[in-house]
A and B are shown apart, each in its own frame.
Chain A
Amino acid sequence: QQQVKQSPQSLIVQKGGISIINCAYENTAFDYFPWYQQFPGKGPALLIAIRPDVSEKKEGRFTISFNKSAKQFSLHIMDSQPGDSATYFCAAFLMNTGRRALTFGSGTRLQVQP
Chain B
Amino acid sequence: DSGVTQTPKHLITATGQRVTLRCSPRSGDLSVYWYQQSLDQGLQFLIQYYNGEERAKGNILERFSAQQFPDLHSELNLSSLELGDSALYFCASSVGYGRDEQFFGPGTRLTVL
Judge: A and B partners, yes or no: no
Binding site for A on B (CB under 8 A): none
